[in-house]
Amino acid sequence: MTAVFLGIPTAPRGVGHLRGDESFPDAARNSLQNGQLRANLGHATSTIRGKRAAVVGEVADWAELREAGRAIKAATMARLDEHLIALEEQVTARGGTVHWARDANEANAIVTRLVQATGTDEVVKVKSMATQEIGLNEALEAAGIAAHETDLAELIVQLGEDKPSHILVPAIHKNRAEIREIFLRTMPGVDPELTDEPRHLAMAARAHLRERFLRARVAISGANFAVAETGTLAVVESEGNGRMCLTLPQTLITVMGIEKVVPTWRDLEVFLQLLPRSSTGERMNPYTSLWAGVTPGDGPQEFHLVLVDNGRTAVLADEVGREALHCIRCSACLNVCPVYERAGGHAYGSVYPGPIGAVLSPQLTGVQDNASLPYASSLCGACYDVCPVAIDIPSILVHLRAEHVEAQTRTTPEAVAFRALSKAMSSPRLWRLAQRAAGLGRFLARGRPTLPAALPPPASKWTRTRDLPTPPAETFTQAWAREHGG
Amino acid sequence: MTAREDILGRIRTALGPDRRVPAEISRDYRLTDDRSPDDLLDVLTDRLEDYKATVVRCGPADVAPTMARALRTALGEHAPADVVVAPGVPAAWRPDGAVEDDGRPAVDLAAYAAAVAGVSVAIAETGTLVLDGSALSGRRALSLLPDCLVCVVEAHQVVSGVPEGLARLDPTAPLTMISGPSATSDIELQRVEGVHGPRTLVVVLVA
Ligand code: SF4
C-alpha cells in the first residue's frame, strides 16, 4: 500500500533540505572531480571504520543486541500512535508542553512563535537532524532570530557557509587545514597564530562559544530517543555543547521526528549500547543527557517538545520501506559505503546522505522528487551488515527502484530494462536465456576485465558511469550443473 | 482537525486496520555479569583511563587527602575557594576550604576551577559515571561549567554493564551519563579531549 494511494502527504516542497538541485549522478560527477574531498573522506571514514570494528568486536552479545534493537523498533512502529499519546501524557505530567507539527512549515512556525514569546532574538542550537531537515535556521532567520550552531562540525559548516555532508560529522569533507582557514577568516578575535592541530581548533571553538552559552535564554535541540512510558528525552553527544544547551537556558525547545519514540525505559539499555559503538566507535560517548519535563532548580524551567511528521507517516504506509524509520542515525552505513566514500554527502542533495539517505529521502519526499537516489548504490550490502538495528537497506533500495520504474509514465531505457529484468527473474526459462545472452557481453569485452564504456545506446547510459564487469564464461548455474550433473 | 488528530489519523491509516503487532522482544543479550567486584573496579579504571580521565584509588578514610592531592595535580597551586562541592557531598570527602553550591545563578558556577560530586551509579564496561541531580551529584550545571570535575565513586556503586546501570536509575530524574572528559571527533574523525564540558576528569575510587 502506498502513501499516495492512501492520501498521506509527503514532506512539502519549497522548505527544508530533503531535495537536491541536481540528480545524484550529476552531483556525484562534480564531486568526483574534487580530489581533496575524496582524500578527506577516505581518510576519515577509514579511521572510523577501524574504531567501530574494534569496539563492536569486543561485545560478545552484539548479535543479540542488534536483534533486540531491530525488534524494539518494529514493535514501536506497530503501535506508533499509542506510544506518542503516552509520551505526550508523560511529558505534560512532568511540566512540559507537547506540540504536533504535520510538516516542516508547521514545525518552523511553532518554534518561531515559541522563541518570539520569550522576547529573545537569538538561540543556541545543539545538532539535530530534524531541524536541518525542516530548514529551521532559515525560518528563524526570516523572523529575525539568529540561530547559533554549537556542535563543532555544525559550527564549521555554519561559519564556512557550507552544507552538512555526514549525519554525525557534518564537516567530514573538510580537513584540519581547511577548518583552520575557516576559523581564521570568520571567528571574531581568533588567535592569528591558530595552528591546524585538532586540539587547538577545538579550543578556538570553545572560546568562541563560551560566552554565547552563558548568555543564552533559549536553546533548541533534537532528541535521539524519547521514552513513552516515562516521558524521558535523551540527547547523546560528545563535546558538552549539548549539555550547555540543555542545562543553562531558561527555555528549551526540543524538535523530534515522531519515529524517535521508544516504548520503555529498558529499551534504552539496548540503544545506549548500540549507538555509541556504531557511530563514533567508542564504548560510550562522553555525555548523554536524560530528562523528563522540568526539574525545579535544575535546568530549563520551560520545556517544549515539538513532534514532527513531515513525511514520516507516508514512509510508515509502505510495509517494506517503513524499516527506514528504524534508523538511529549512527552513520555507520555512510562510513562503510563505497559510493558515499567517493561521491561525498553533498551529492545526495538531502540532509540524509549515504545508504540511509538513499532510502529515507525519496520516501519522505515521494520517490518522484528524489528519483535518482535509490540508484545511488552498488547493492553491495555493507550497509546492512553494519547497521546496528539491521535495516535491510539493499532490499528497500530495490523496492524503491521498482516503485520508481512503475510510476514512470515515459518509457526510458532504464524502465524497459528493469521491467525486463523483473520479468526474466520471475521465469526460470527466461532467466536462463538472459544468462546465455550475457555471452554476447564477453564477446564485446574481448578479454578485458570490464566492458567498454562506448557500448551503443541505451547500454552506454549505464556504462558511462559504471565499470560493467565482463560476464563470466560460465554462469553459476552452468558450473553447478557441470560439476554436480544437475 | 488539529495537527495532533491529523498525525494520529495518518498513522492509523498507514498501519491499516489489521496491523501486525510483533511478539514480545527477546532480550537474549547480557543482563548481568559474573565478574567479581574487584575485577569490575579494574575494568572501570581501565575504561576511564582509556578516555584520558585520571583515576585515583583510596580507602574510605582517605578521600579528602586523596582528593586534595588530585586537585593539586590537576589545577596546580590554587585557592581552596576555587573548588565548589555539591550540597550532599559528605563532610569527610570535602577538600578544606571548598565552597558548597548554594543555588546561585547557574552561570556563576563557571567562575570555579573545579567541582566535586558524588555519583549515582558507575558502569564498568563502558567507563560511565551517572549523576542524577540529587544533593550528592548536584545540579547539572555544577558538573558542567568548572573546567575540572572530580567524581567520587564508591565500590558498591559499580555495576558491570549498561542494563544493570539503567535499572538502578530513576528515569524521571535529570540524569547525566559521563564517560571521560568532554571530547570531539569532528575533525577528521579523530578524538580530541576537551571541548565545552570539563577538560579534566578526576575519579576518586573508594574501595
Ligand atoms: S541506517 Fe542503520 S547504519 Fe545507517 S545510520 Fe541508520 S542506524 Fe546507522
Tens of pLDDT along A402-432? Answer: 888 877 765 666 556 655 555 544 455 554 5
DSSP-derived 3-state class of residue A112: helix
**Cα–Cα distance measured from residue A6 to residue A29, given in angstroms and rounded to the nearest whole number:** 37
B132 found inside a domain: yes
Ligand 1 midpoint to CA A328 (Å): 6
Q: Is B27 on the interface with A (CB under 8 A)?
A: yes
Residue A383 pLDDT: 96
Residue A439 has pLDDT above 50, yes or no: no
| B192 falls within a domain | yes
Nearest-angstrom CA–CA distance, B179 and A483: 57
Measured between CB atoms, does B188 come within 8 Å of chain A? yes
Length in residues, chain A = 486
Q: Where does A372-475 have alpha helices with state H?
A: 382-386, 393-407, 413-425, 428-445, 459-463
Domain count of chain B? 1
How high is the pLDDT of residue A477?
58
Is the ipTM here above 0.95? yes
CB-hemisphere CA count at 13 Å for A398? 10
Let me know if residue B18 belongs to a domain: no
Question: What does the buried/exposed string (b/e) look like for A233-268 if buried means 16 or more CB atoms within 10 Å of the residue's CB?
Answer: bbbbbbbbbbbbbbbbbebbbbbbbbbbbbbbbbbb
- B20 domain-assigned: no
Is the CB of residue A24 less than 8 Å from the CB of residue A30?
no
Between CA A18 and CA A352 the distance in angstroms is 7
Alpha carbon distance A85, A185 (integer Å): 48
Residue whose CA lies nearest to ligand 1 atom number 6: A327
Separation of alpha carbons A389 and A279, rounded Å: 13
List the domain range (segments joined by +) for residue B61.
33-206
Residue ranges matching CATH 3.40.50.10420 in chain A? 1-409
Percentage of chain A beyond pLDDT 90 is 64
Within 60-79 of B, beta carbons closer than 8 Å to A belong to none
| Gap between the Cα atoms of A254 and A27, Å rounded | 33
Structure-model confidence comparison of residues A375 and A256, the more confident one: A256
pLDDT at B54 > cutoff 70 = yes
The three state secondary structure string of A212-242 is HHHHCCEEEECCCEEECCCCEEEEEECCCHH
Q: Is there a domain that residue B15 lies in?
A: no
Residue A330 Cα: closest atom of ligand 1: 8
Sign of CA dihedral A382, A338, A459, A19: positive
Residue B69 lies in a domain: yes
Phi, then psi, of A32 in degrees rounded to 5: -65, -20
Q: What distance in Å separates the CA atoms of residue A83 and residue A412, rounded to the nearest whole number?
A: 44
Nearest Cα residue to atom 2 of ligand 1: A387
Domain spanning A1-409 has what CATH number?
Answer: 3.40.50.10420
Residues facing A94 on adjacent strands: none
**What is the b/e burial string over A376-385, where b = at least 16 CB atoms within 10 angstroms of the residue's CB?**
bbeeeebbbe
Q: Are A305 and A91 spatial neighbours (Cβ–Cβ below 8 Å)? A: yes
For residue A197, the CA-to-ligand 1 centroid distance in Å is 30
C-alpha count within 13 angstroms, C-beta hemisphere, residue A94: 24
Q: What is the CATH number of the domain that holds B45?
A: 3.40.50.10420
Strand (E) or helix (H) holding A292: strand A287-292
A333 Cβ inside 6 Å of ligand 1: yes
Q: Say if B14 is an interface residue toward chain A (CB within 8 Å).
A: yes
The chain B residue lying nearest A95, using CA atoms, is: B172
Q: What is the pTM of this model?
A: 0.89
How would residue A472 be classed by pLDDT, with cut points 50, 70 and 90?
A: low
Per-residue pLDDT tens digits for A80-110: 999 999 999 999 999 999 999 999 999 999 9
Residue B56 lies in a domain: yes
B144: chain A residues, CB-CB within 8 Å: 240, 243-244, 247
Q: Does A469 score more than 60 pLDDT? A: no
